[in-house]
A and B are shown apart, each in its own frame.
Chain A
């Protein structure tokens, strides 16, 4: 049952082959039995899930069911959900039950989706391995000694292990694409502003974007169709029409022009990952695509620029956690300053504190021009590289991550080594472009992701390009042993 596509589940729910209550119970049973090995969920919401499933079954019976009626999904624990704890992977919000639903949550609920629970993540989405979570690391379903990637590591592991049909995620520097690659699933980060950020706990507001982790491009299209679109409650939401992503999946890709940035195939890339990515690109050539080498000369600067812009915005966004209005408050504060300082020191983990401090430093008096302003200028150069590239190509392809999943603990003592894991994904966020990761041939039994980057608002094209590959290959169907 858990290996069926979302379209197939939706069709069978409508034919009453099984009910949503049965499907939901099936997933809840899998979570109870299998998630002890993964730690991919922070909260499991059995009661509200079964109630939503009953509502979906009634809607199906009465003929007014939404497109995702009865489909069991999970939300990354960064999306506010009224009635289910929203921790953001932090002790700071361990006691936080949001008074409202995020727009993305609201839209998927309106489409009839059933929420099984909230998935584990790096604390406040800051991390590339899911090891900074207050709730402990998530284990990669392909090898329990390895990380699932991050920050949407719980969503990626849960989807790969078939503990939910699909899951939401967020991507600020690669947090959907990199865990999707490391867990062997499909992930899409849409254009900045495509999905509403309202009710999504802010990390770096000029980079954050919601998206989907799923087992295939077709499944991802089903969710994105419901999530995307203008929201007046998010001041940076894009007021741009949303095409039907499912409708575009089967479009012909003969003549597709693929650009391969030479900077994405250089030093630091595991040669076996490179070979696997090159094989996938050959498959695209067999499908009629034309490949050419391109250059994104400023892309090596993405990591330094990101580690100014993202911490600066994070230090500003996380200033709201002060122990006064919600979240963690220290015991017996002796004065207001003590209340702030101890509540924040107790509530935030080490990586969050590091980034808050970097952000505070680069924004402090006398340093703004040298750091933040300089970074925003180079960010412009990075975005211009893409604009030039897209004059000659339709999509850009390369590896999603430089290596396969690394071992738990391997990079936790070296923040800079951890940051370099996002070297191929960050530029996309800085430019605001949409990007995907799809599974290609594994290396030594560990998944490898092909990254596909598109021009602004070209999500339909990306999903189409991914779907055509998945139509002729089977890498996306592989299930980790013990989770089939």
Chain B
């Protein structure tokens, strides 16, 4: 499996990572090597094998629909980079 520069740019965009143009080649080589390692899976016949959804084959536990958590917005927002009136601030999205 070999990834080229445009593949890397597309993946980095999907992953929301800014990558420097000079490191694209290196990422292409590293990621291609990792995918070569992963390609060993292709030799295995998995017809009829169920994918493993949980190591202990447990199903998702649900809790009763009751209020269990209380408002701690101030505490949680105290570590945010930028907030105002209880809201997180980001650059303007809509003009």
Q: How far is the CA of A301 from the CA of B58 in the complex (A)?
A: 24
Question: Does B50 lie within 8 Å of A377, measured CB to CB?
Answer: yes
Enumerate chain A residues within 8 angstroms of B50, measured Cβ to Cβ: 377, 380
Q: Give the distance in Å from the alpha carbon of A383 to the alpha carbon of B50 in the complex.
A: 12
Cβ of B86 within 8 Å of any chain A Cβ, yes or no, is no
A381 touches B49 (CB 8 A): yes
Interface code B41-81, partner A: CB below 8 Å = 1, 0 otherwise? Answer: 11010100111111110101101000000001001101111
Are A192's CB and B82's CB within 8 A? Answer: no
Interface pair A238/B11, CB less than 8 Å apart: no
B-side residues, CB < 8 A to A, are 3, 7-8, 11-12, 14-19, 27, 30-31, 33-42, 44, 46, 49-56, 58, 60-61, 63, 72, 75-76, 78-82, 88, 90-93
How many A-B residue pairs have C-beta atoms within 8 angstroms? Tell me. 163
Q: Is residue A354 within 8 Å, beta carbon to beta carbon, of the partner chain? A: yes
- Which of B16, B49, B58 interacts with A341 by CB under 8 Å? B16
A2 at the interface (CB under 8 A from B): no
Q: Which of A310-362 contact B (CB under 8 A)?
A: 315, 319, 322-326, 329, 333-342, 344-345, 348, 353-354, 356-362
Q: Which residue of B31, B44, B80 contacts A354 across the interface (Cβ within 8 Å)?
A: B31
Q: Are B78 and A99 in contact (CB under 8 A)?
A: yes
Known: A235-B61, A380-B51. Is A354-B82 also a contact (CB below 8 A)? Answer: no
Q: A193-B58, A319-B16, A326-B80 are in contact. List 17 more A-B contacts (CB 8 A).
A: A95-B79, A96-B79, A99-B72, A99-B76, A301-B44, A304-B37, A315-B15, A338-B18, A338-B91, A344-B15, A345-B17, A353-B17, A353-B19, A358-B35, A375-B41, A377-B51, A416-B33
A4 contacts chain B at the CB level, 8 A cutoff: no
Chain B residues with CB below 8 A from A339, complex form: 90-91
A99 touches B16 (CB 8 A): no
Smallest distance from the beta carbon of A325 to chain B beta carbons, Å? 5
Q: In the bound complex, do residue A415 and residue B91 qualify as a contact, i.e. CB atoms below 8 Å apart?
A: no
**Which chain B residues lie closer than 8 Å to A456 at the CB level?**
56
Q: Nearest chain A CB to B55's CB is how many angstroms away?
A: 3
A residues near B (Cβ < 8 Å) are 95-97, 99, 191-193, 206-207, 232, 235-236, 238-239, 298, 300-301, 303-305, 307-308, 315, 319, 322-326, 329, 333-342, 344-345, 348, 353-354, 356-362, 364, 371, 373-381, 383, 415-416, 419, 430-432, 456
